[in-house]
Structure formats: C-alpha cells, structure tokens
Structure 1
C-alpha cells in the first residue's frame, strides 16, 4: 500500500501541476485584453475597462413601477442590447453592472450574437465582479477584430431612494403621495440602471423606450416620437419611444417618469424649451423665470460657441430629491427645485441669481462636456471649471444690470484660494491612472475642480483677451465634436488663436504656462518691494510649517501674469517668469502700488511695509479710489498672509477700520468671510466679547445707512448687490447684538406668527430675519419655524427655514433637530448633510453635531459615503476645532472608523487635520495680539 500511495501521490502532483498550467493559460487569455502598462492582474480586477470592445449603440427598454410590489419594494425591470465592435482579440466581455438583480435563466440571462453572419462564440459563464462592478462573461472562443456583436441582457433592480442611477423621488400633492422615477448617472451610476460600458470615452447612441403607467409622462434625452397604449401582463401601460441620441457618454443619459406638467416657449435655434415640475409649481408660475432666462442664455451660448444647439429640445426638470445642484444630461437637465423654480412673492434676489447661474452652468455643458467630452475623470476640472467660468458670462448677458462678473471673486476665486493653500490640496489634473475607483472619481467633484478651475480659466482668458480665448474655443469644439479630448487639445487650439492674433504677445506657449497652473497644486504669493522694484514668488501655504509631500517638476514656480497699477490708476502688465526678478516701474517714491488689478490672476500679493501703510491710508482717506474688487482682495490677502505668518495680524485688523465707511457689498463680504474665522476661534470664550464689541462698531454705521436709504426698511435697494448688502447689514447687526436690529426682526417675525396666512417679511430678508428671531426666541418660535418649514410649498423658502432652525441657542432643540436630519420623513435625504453642518456652525451645536456624527457614523457613511458632498460634512462638523484635545479627538475618530472607511471624504480627513493644527498654532501666536488691538480700538470713542 505504501508504494501505491506514493505512485498515486506522484500522479496527483502531476495532475495539480497540469491544472495550474491550464488555469494560468486561461487566466492569461482572460487578462490579455488589459492595458499592458498596468500591473499584471486579471482584467476584471482593474477598475478601468480594457480597450478591446467599443460600444456603438444601445437599445434600452425600462419599466419603472411607481407602486410597491408585494414585498413592499419599488422596482424596475428592463432589457438592453448593446452593439459593440471588437478592437482587440479577446474571449472575455467586461461590461459595467452594479446592484442589478439580473434575471436568472440557467445563469444570467445574457445572449451574444454576431452581426456579420460569422459564428458566435458561446457563453461559458457569467458572473458579477462586485468590487469592480463588472458583469464578467467568459466565451469559449475569441471575438473577431473589426466585427460587430450584440449583447442582450434582461434585468430588474430596485427603484431606491439613494439618488443614484435610476431612483425614485417622492412628494405629496393635495394629500396624495406621488413618485417620480428619475436618474443621476454621473459619475459611475449608469451601470446601476442597465449593463453598459460606463466610461466617458465609451460614447454611443442610445435608443430609449420607457414603459410607464397610463396617465404619467416619460422623458428622455431625445424627443418622444411615439406613445402607444397597451396591455402587458394584464397591466394597462403606455410605451414611449424616443429619438436616438447623438454619440455621447453614459453619464449624460437620463430618463424620467412622473405626473409632472410643463410650460414651453417658442423654439430657439430650432430647439424646443420646456420647464417641467410638480403641477402646482407650474400652475403657480414658478417655472416662468427659468423659461425666460433659458432662452436668453441658450442664445448667448449659440453665439459664444458659434455652434448650433446640438439637440431638438432642451427639457429642464425640477426634482424634489436630488443630491447635486443640477446635472447636465444632454437635452434633459435635472435640478434641485431650489435651483430651477422661482416665485417672486416668496423667493429672494439671491434665489433668482441662483436659478440663472445654475441654468447657465448646465447649458454651458451642452457643448463643453457633452458635445466634446474629456477622456477621463482626471481632467474633470476642465469640464466643471469651464462651465463655472462661462456661466457668469451667460448670466451677465441675460441680466447685465447685476454686474455678476465681479461676484466670481467672492464665489469662486477666494473660495479656491482658501482650499488650495493647504498642503493637502491637489493639482487640477491628476494622472489618469491615479483616479480609478468610484470613490476616487467622486472626490474630484470639489472646490479645486469647480472654483480653481474657473479662476485659472478666467486668468487665461484675461491674459489672452476674451476674443482670442473664444476664437480658440470655437475651433476646438468644431474639431472634436462628438469626440473625447485631453486638456492639451484645448491649449493647442488656444495657441493657434494666439499665433493668428498679431496684437497678442505672451512670454511662453499656452501649454507651458498652463501646465504650471494645472499639473501642480497651490499658487504663489507674489511679493513686491516698492523701494527696489524687486518682485518674487513663493508657494503660498496657510501653515508654512506644513510639509508638502507632493513633488512638482516645476518646483512650485509659476508663470505669473501680474496686472498692476500705481496711484495714477493706469493698468499695466508684468510677467513674473522666475523666482525673483526686478521690475523698475514698481520702484516708486510716493503713493502706492496695487497688484492683481480686478483680481484677474490666481495668486496673492504681499508688499513691503511702507506700501501696506500707503494702501491703508488710501482706504481710510478715500477708499473709492481703489476698485471694490481690489478692496476685497486687499482684505482677503492681508488676513491670509497674516495666518501664514507673512504679515502681522494687527495690520490685517487695522485694514478693517475703514469698513465703517464702506458701502459696497463685495468688500464687506470679503471682510466678513475673514472675520468669521476670528469668531470661530473665539466664540464661546471670554475673548469673544471684545471682538463682538469691535465688529459691532464697524457694522452699526452700515445698518444705519441701509435703514436710511430704504426709508426705515420699507423699500428695497435698487442695485443687485445693494440688496445683498442690506441682508448683510441685518444679519450681522442682529448677530452682534444691535438692539435696533433685534427689535426689528423680532417684531416682523411675531407679526407673522400672529397671522400665519400673511408673511410680510420681504423675501430678500427672510433668511436673516428668521435666524435672528429663532436665535433670540425659544421653543415657541422654533416650533412655529418648524411648522412653516413643513408647510412651505417653495423649496427656496423651505431652505431658508431649514437653515434658520439651526440658529436656536436651545441645545435640547438642536439635539431634536439633529435627530430629524437623518429622518427622511422630516428632512429630505438630499438635505441631511447640510442640515448637520448648519447645526455645527452654531457654537451651541458644534459639540452636539460632532458627537452625533461619531455616534451615527456607520449609518451616515452607508447612506452618504459615496456622494461628493460627504467631504463637506467632515469639514463642517470640525470647523471650530482649535485645541490639542480637538486634534486628539479627531485622530481617535479617524483610527476608530478606519475599518468603516471614509469614501469620498477621504481627502477631507487630511485637510481637517491640517486645519486643526493650523488653528492651534494661530491661537497660540495671535490671541494676545488680537486682544491688544481690540482693547485699544474699543477704548476709543466713535
């Protein structure tokens, strides 16, 4: 028996070896289609699709059920066929598929057919690879290069309320609960609706058919071409088919089934414009402003791009539940209700601006992003940054009296500078191979992509001139229509435009200049010495002691276009091309130098002490000599330079003294944004009282001024930003304890409580008044606010009340409100994160919100961990952290929750750690200095 056993063992060993060899050969074939530059892993373990199969068209039929099934679940069923060509020989089909319960018939119901008449390889096995979200189909033979095939699948899935893929939104109208089946495919959610090649470069045409309840309406990217009533499985339904889409990416696909109605306008450039919303919203004309402004902005972009609108219609739909602000689905743009609906009797001036700017942003994408699409998500910044920048141009065309082009400095440039001053920031564009997983892609939808992208493109347009910028853009769109590109393709077209414009001179090629702004993170602080004319640059970091561990081939040096002027106010340009240089014209004997005129460049500016003193004197004596944007810039630069230990905090504070005479919104908004940091650091401590007293002295004259020009608050200022200034005056004066303001807001709110049917508070002022009254009031005011929130029929009004409820000083109410935030029956899921952050911004709610998030982390992560706004939560609940204890608490939290994970908030963890450390250092260095300044100023009369 011993010899037999040995022989059997030898035979078994040989068999094992043979099996291993065979498996290696098979696995080698399966992975042969992958990019050889990638690590040698099996093809289905890579998050990027192999380039062996290229889709040409999809035929998709979907049937969402707007009623629960017997199991109490909302579902959808569907069938899809995709025609693709084989570009590289392979015996493996990988197609994205996620969270779909594929119909089982001897395995998954998938059928492969050759369209050229040749024999088709048989399907051996099919399975789901959950981690990389693939449907893996192994064939018994190779697909032929150059031949076309059709893959058919049948499936069903849950119509969940997760606001991803094909999902449901709910609302109530006249006491009846109604369901909307809608979509959000960006960035990686089309695979949740049907199996597809779900990457931007995998463009195809889509033939969509929707089966839906009789009496409901179905929408998709194309115009509906046929609706037929029929009976399926004893159910009476309507089948609607749509015209095929152009070649486009899966993330732009959309379909909706609802009980909505619409308003429309005459065709603009052969395109029908329709605004869709809840029936009551449309009947109350809440879509009329969107309809009017859409036509104007669409016309602007047709002229701007010199390219006709690519589709036959532009539908815009307001959704009750929507995670993003809006989504640029081609021909079927979806919005949060507050971003599309406007009611002049209830909505504020700011709400109106919001509607216009979001519409402009999404319409800009119809060409830039949809017609021409970036190859991969690592260049998302160019898509979103561009749409953000040109949205200001579109709104300026539709509402020139607003002067909205100036507001980009507040909304985007300053915002980006703050984010990008951290050592944990990142470049606009990353290497494609570093962005693979869905959560990595989701993290790209951040301030850098949107706001820095817009700021850098605005700077590019400024030094090229807008006419040259647009000229290059037009040829770029013409050459790459219906295709995919990388950023350098745009730079090449802009360079051609420069070469054809003899009056435009730039010191380097467009690519050389832009690579330094795009491929390395951060930005420079440009330092000017007016005694010598010396000009230098260095990488600006909020915490100069922080370690930058991201290497840069450009060594954190930029090619910087410096627009500047002296007290003669003649604007000149100087290019700083190296670390240090000399510009003799900046050497002056009297007056001042001001650089980065109109804040056109993406950098900060520092000066010698004498020049800072000259600018301070100018502000105090006659601040109007300096443009409002640059008054805002001086304040923002000074405070951030002080935080970075480059400038004294006392000098930054001295610059605020002129604000008692300031009557422009943009400088005030910049000052408040920076002074809010002081409030965050001191609120809740004994140091807050003197800070509050000083700020009250600055705001009181502004409050009196607005009271006067509005005839004791009975009129609305004429100017767009003057209306914002009025809101600022009331919000700040009440918060700082000005009794005239608090009496005013309390009186207005009480009158509304006494007569709930009539709210006489002007829509512009409601947010400020509600917050002030609820902050000063008790349970009665809070309960009334909650009741009005529940009854609000306009999303913009509901948003104001939802924020204001977080203003209470009663911690028991704040605890109750935190519980409401995760109750979808009380606070919509789309608003959960922002509600928690609102509460955290209240000094009384800061610790409560932090404890709440820690306690509920697993649930919060499960529901929101993949959304791009998740980083907002992590930053928001830690914004006051400024002690060693806070730092240890956050480190402990990070360690304890590492197994659960942080999803799209992973990058925010490093940002928060860096900010806490910077806050600790700032307080240690500056608290005494700030208190000394405040003591001196508060002791002075007037």
Structure 2
C-alpha cells in the first residue's frame, strides 16, 4: 500500500465491536475515551451498514479483516477526520451520537462523515492517485458514493446532497471564473479546493448518467480490480469507462469518454444551453454561462422530455451538443402549446435558458401541477431563472411567472434553490453564507415556509416594475 496511508495509534481507549455482513466480513472497532464510549454507538452501528452497501454496489471487497474508528477530542486539521487504510479518526464533536432516538440533524451530519470515511477505503486508499493534482478524482468518487450511501440509509438525503454539491460548485465557479481549477489546483485557496471536489462529484454523477448504471459500474469495478494498491490517473479511469462502453454496444459512438470529460475537467466554468423555438422545431445553442465573450464549447449530454411524456428512469442522452458545433436542431417535433424540459433530474453540469414562450408554458405547468415536474428539475428551474435574471438574460416578469408557484412548494430542494439564489451575492453574502441560511431554514422547520412567503412577497410580489432587472427595494 502507499506509504502515506500507514498510521499508528497508541491510546488507552475503550472499544465497541461490530461487524459488517458483507461478502468478506469486516470487523469494526469503534474506540474512544471510556467516558464517551456510550455515544460511539451510532458510529459503531452505521459504519458496517455503509460498508455493506458499498461492498454490494462496487462488488470489490476490501482486503481488510478489520477497520478501526477512533474518536478523539483534539484534532490537528480542519477536516475533522482522517482516512487511512483500515483506520478512520473522527473529532468527537462531529461523531459522538447515541444509536437510539430519531435521526436528528447532528446524526445526519455524523452519518455523512461516516459514509465519506468508509467510501475512502476504496477511493484514495485501495485506489491511489499518480499525483496530487489528480486528487479531485478520488475525492469526487468518494463524495459521489457517500451520497449514494446516505440515500440508502436515509432516503431522500442523497438527493439533497447532489443538488447542494451542484449549486455550491456553481456559486464558487462564478466567484473564481477565469481560473482553470484543475490545472491550478496546487495553487488554489481552501475555498477553491472545496469547490473543486464538489464540481468533481457533480461530474461523476453526470458520467454515471450518460453511460448508464450497467456501463458505469462495469468500468469502475474493472478499474478497481486492475489498479488496486496502485496509482491511477483520470485518463486511465476514463479509459476503463470507455472500454465498458464498447463492451456494452457494438454500435460505434461519435464520442469517447476521455474526449467528453476533457472538455469539463481541463477548463473552468460551465455551459449555458439556450433553447430557441422555430415553429415546431427546437434549436439548442451552447455558450459559456459566466463569460459570454469566451468561445469555450463542451460535449454536453442532452436529456429532455416533451410535455406529455413520462420522466424516464435512466438518464442516457437523447442527443449531444459537441465542441464541433455551437448549435443543433433536435429531431423531435414540439407542438407550439407544449414545453420541452432539458437536463432531467439536473444530472448535467449546465444551466438552461428557454425562449419566452417555453418559460411561460413551464410557469403555467408549475402553477397548475408542480408535482408533475421532478423535484430536482423544479430546483434547477428555480436556480436557473434566478441566475438568468441576475445575468440580465431574462426579464423580471419572466422570472416572476416561473417563481410565483413557489409559495405552494413543499419540498426542500426547490426552496433551498430559491433561498440560495436570492441571498447569494445580495448584501455581500457569500456562497457559504447563502447555503448556511438555507440549511438553517431547513432545520427551523415550520419557519421555513413563513420565510419563503416573506422572501417571495418582498422580492417578487412587491416588485414595483415587473420588467425591471434591478432588485426591488
């Protein structure tokens, strides 16, 4: 194994013993000072469950007989945990919880740390990296599978984490536009480093989406088998996924995984896809969302549905925008009175701007029956329309027609998107602060809806001029 993964602990701790019922049973020792041992019960119970889920999903067993979890009071790093092969060390403030009782916010945060630490056993420990500039790949894989494990043990939480990663990365991209975060990672500030991992997580989800689960896991499993206890690179990882794609189908594709992903990992920023209706035809155009003077083009997997169609289970693209074309006409005919919705479940790392008529149709559907649109797409619509309004790409009256449904919204994700979209940058509020406000409101429970109503009333309904692009007083 890599020498930097070797760790020793000399302690006088008391331990609890549990075991994962995986294909290769792994014993867990969860150890702390004797005064805290009762509150290690949550970590002792949940860590084996996370390992069982990931072991079954990845189908690559860890070469470990035991994993030690240590809970310490004094921690030297800001991360509040370390992940060595067979050893995870947590800060007591972040992890001590009783196993009984309801799932509280603090327990949910502890579970997320446990899921992250356990996923690192595969990504970063079993599978290493060739150089530190590639750290975003193992961190992205770790956080992506952390999200899946969270959703397995706490249904619905993974959905929130996926959206939070995407929205947070979008916000940080807008603050550091112009810097290639992959190429300049060694020089990046801690804030950019955090953003980099969130973007990597979102991109891993997009790869999973356009390849499909069968191909993605085939390539990932083979990559783990072939590179265990060795260093890997993004190019090797894309190659493994490409071979899996070729095994899946004999049809020749006009793209390969590495070429697609290089357009996302070797440049900063992200695309804006613009929808234009020409009669019953739909034309899509791409450009840089943060700097319209730049000529960057991406390989963009396009998922979409037309009004009246059922949301599909898989997220394989129906079409692509490529670096060789800035615009493309879709094959489908879309009647004038029907909308088209792009980027299903917000799996793609891009924003969408529709023509005025389509925005009005989507706004009317949200008012009539907002649940007919997937919750992650509702959150995406709210996030995108606020971004477009701030960028002066849509009028306030258009944004109003889309946002007015929000007073009836009862799911966390669209409400979070509204709070983050309104507060970020307003009065000098930072991305971290905007997310903190949204998280706090979610904790506040019954006060959340009241704040949304107040925010909507102050910033939307009372706008003195619905055609104005300025913030209302």
Structure 1 length normalisation: TM-score? Answer: 0.44
**CA distance, structure 2, for counterparts of residue 480 and residue 643 of structure 1:** 46
Structure 1 residue aligned with 2:2: 248
1:635 and 2:382 correspond: yes
**CA displacement, residues 222-272 of structure 1 (integer Å, 9 cap, x when unaligned):** xxxxxxxxxxxxxxxxxxxxxxxxx2141x333334443221113653422
1:315 and 2:68 correspond: yes
- Alignment check: 8 A CA contact 2:41 2:99 kept: no
Structure 1 residue aligned with 2:305: 565
**CA distance, structure 2, for counterparts of residue 503 and residue 292 of structure 1:** 45
Aligned 1:882-921 pairs, distance under 5 A:
none
Structure 2 residue aligned with 1:488: 235
- Alignment check: 8 A CA contact 2:42 2:99 kept: no
Structure 1 residue aligned with 2:337: 590
1:295 and 2:48 correspond: yes
Structure 2 residue aligned with 1:142: none
Structure 2 residue aligned with 1:36: none
- Alignment check: 8 A CA contact 1:522 1:539 kept: yes
- Alignment check: 8 A CA contact 2:73 2:93 kept: no
- 1:279 Cα deviation after fit: 2.3
More helix by share: 2
Residue among 135, 138, 161 paired with 1:408: 161
Structure 2 residue aligned with 1:262: 15
Aligned 1:538-557 pairs, distance under 5 A:
538-541=287-290, 555-557=295-297
Aligned 1:5-24 pairs, distance under 5 A:
none
Q: Secondary structure at the match of 2:249?
A: coil
1:519 and 2:270 correspond: no
Q: Number of residues paired by the alignment? A: 442
Structure 2 residue aligned with 1:455: 202
- Alignment check: 8 A CA contact 1:530 1:586 kept: no
- 1:484 Cα deviation after fit: 0.9
Q: Secondary structure at the match of 2:174?
A: coil
Pair 618,441 (structure 1): closer, same or farther in 2 beyond 3 Å: closer
Residue among 489, 510, 513 paired with 2:257: 510
Task: Structure 2: give runs of 5+ residues left out of the alignment.
Answer: 430-438, 469-473
Pair 383,444 (structure 1): closer, same or farther in 2 beyond 3 Å: farther
**CA distance, structure 2, for counterparts of residue 643 and residue 248 of structure 1:** 48
Structure 2 residue aligned with 1:386: 141
Q: Secondary structure at the match of 1:467?
A: helix
Residue among 441, 447, 472 paired with 1:730: 447
Aligned 1:641-790 pairs, distance under 5 A:
641-677=388-424, 680=427, 727-730=444-447, 733=450
Pair 737,569 (structure 1): closer, same or farther in 2 beyond 3 Å: closer
- Alignment check: 8 A CA contact 1:469 1:494 kept: yes
Residue among 354, 359, 363 paired with 2:114: 359
Pair 267,538 (structure 1): closer, same or farther in 2 beyond 3 Å: closer
**CA distance, structure 2, for counterparts of residue 934 and residue 507 of structure 1:** 44
- 1:734 Cα deviation after fit: 7.1
**CA displacement, residues 791-818 of structure 1 (integer Å, 9 cap, x when unaligned):** xxxxxxxxxxxxxxxxxxxxxxxxxxxx
**CA distance, structure 1, for counterparts of residue 387 and residue 454 of structure 2:** 27
**CA distance, structure 1, for counterparts of residue 101 and residue 19 of structure 2:** 28
- Alignment check: 8 A CA contact 2:147 2:162 kept: no
**CA displacement, residues 857-894 of structure 1 (integer Å, 9 cap, x when unaligned):** xxxxxxxxxxxxxxxxxxxxxxxxxxxxxxxxxxxxxx
**CA displacement, residues 617-660 of structure 1 (integer Å, 9 cap, x when unaligned):** 11112111111111111000011111222122443244332122
**CA distance, structure 2, for counterparts of residue 933 and residue 441 of structure 1:** 41
- Alignment check: 8 A CA contact 2:407 2:452 kept: no
**CA distance, structure 2, for counterparts of residue 282 and residue 506 of structure 1:** 56
Structure 2 residue aligned with 1:328: 83
Structure 2 residue aligned with 1:576: 321
- 1:494 Cα deviation after fit: 0.7
**CA distance, structure 2, for counterparts of residue 307 and residue 603 of structure 1:** 32
**CA distance, structure 1, for counterparts of residue 251 and residue 378 of structure 2:** 29
- 1:359 Cα deviation after fit: 1.4
Structure 2 residue aligned with 1:136: none
Aligned 1:786-801 pairs, distance under 5 A:
none
Pair 644,267 (structure 1): closer, same or farther in 2 beyond 3 Å: closer
Q: Secondary structure at the match of 1:533?
A: strand
Q: Which stretch of the first structure deviates more once superposed, 629-638 or 344-353?
A: 344-353
- Alignment check: 8 A CA contact 2:29 2:44 kept: yes
- 1:520 Cα deviation after fit: 1.1
**CA distance, structure 2, for counterparts of residue 444 and residue 503 of structure 1:** 44
Structure 2 residue aligned with 1:368: 123
What CA RMSD, in Å, does the superposition of the two structures yield over aligned residues? 3.2
**CA distance, structure 1, for counterparts of residue 400 and residue 453 of structure 2:** 18
- Alignment check: 8 A CA contact 2:356 2:398 kept: no
Structure 2 length normalisation: TM-score? Answer: 0.84
- Alignment check: 8 A CA contact 2:285 2:328 kept: yes
- 1:530 Cα deviation after fit: 2.8
Q: Secondary structure at the match of 1:575?
A: strand
Structure 2 residue aligned with 1:537: 286
**CA displacement, residues 191-210 of structure 1 (integer Å, 9 cap, x when unaligned):** xxxxxxxxxxxxxxxxxxxx
**CA displacement, residues 279-307 of structure 1 (integer Å, 9 cap, x when unaligned):** 22213xx2222222211111222223322
- Alignment check: 8 A CA contact 1:263 1:282 kept: yes
- Alignment check: 8 A CA contact 1:248 1:371 kept: no
- Alignment check: 8 A CA contact 2:363 2:403 kept: no
Pair 340,423 (structure 1): closer, same or farther in 2 beyond 3 Å: closer
**CA distance, structure 2, for counterparts of residue 280 and residue 331 of structure 1:** 24
**CA distance, structure 1, for counterparts of residue 90 and residue 464 of structure 2:** 47
Residue among 598, 612, 615 paired with 2:359: 612
Residue among 397, 401, 417 paired with 2:152: 397
**CA distance, structure 1, for counterparts of residue 277 and residue 81 of structure 2:** 47
**CA distance, structure 2, for counterparts of residue 453 and residue 377 of structure 1:** 15
**CA distance, structure 1, for counterparts of residue 451 and residue 382 of structure 2:** 23
**CA displacement, residues 807-856 of structure 1 (integer Å, 9 cap, x when unaligned):** xxxxxxxxxxxxxxxxxxxxxxxxxxxxxxxxxxxxxxxxxxxxxxxxxx
**CA distance, structure 2, for counterparts of residue 677 and residue 398 of structure 1:** 31
**CA distance, structure 2, for counterparts of residue 681 and residue 443 of structure 1:** 20
**CA distance, structure 1, for counterparts of residue 249 and residue 454 of structure 2:** 60
- Alignment check: 8 A CA contact 2:321 2:328 kept: yes
Pair 249,588 (structure 1): closer, same or farther in 2 beyond 3 Å: farther
Q: Secondary structure at the match of 1:605?
A: strand
- Alignment check: 8 A CA contact 2:219 2:243 kept: yes
Pair 609,447 (structure 1): closer, same or farther in 2 beyond 3 Å: farther
- 1:454 Cα deviation after fit: 0.6
- 1:538 Cα deviation after fit: 0.3
**CA distance, structure 2, for counterparts of residue 296 and residue 561 of structure 1:** 34
More strand by share: 1
Structure 1 residue aligned with 2:433: none
**CA distance, structure 2, for counterparts of residue 484 and residue 444 of structure 1:** 27
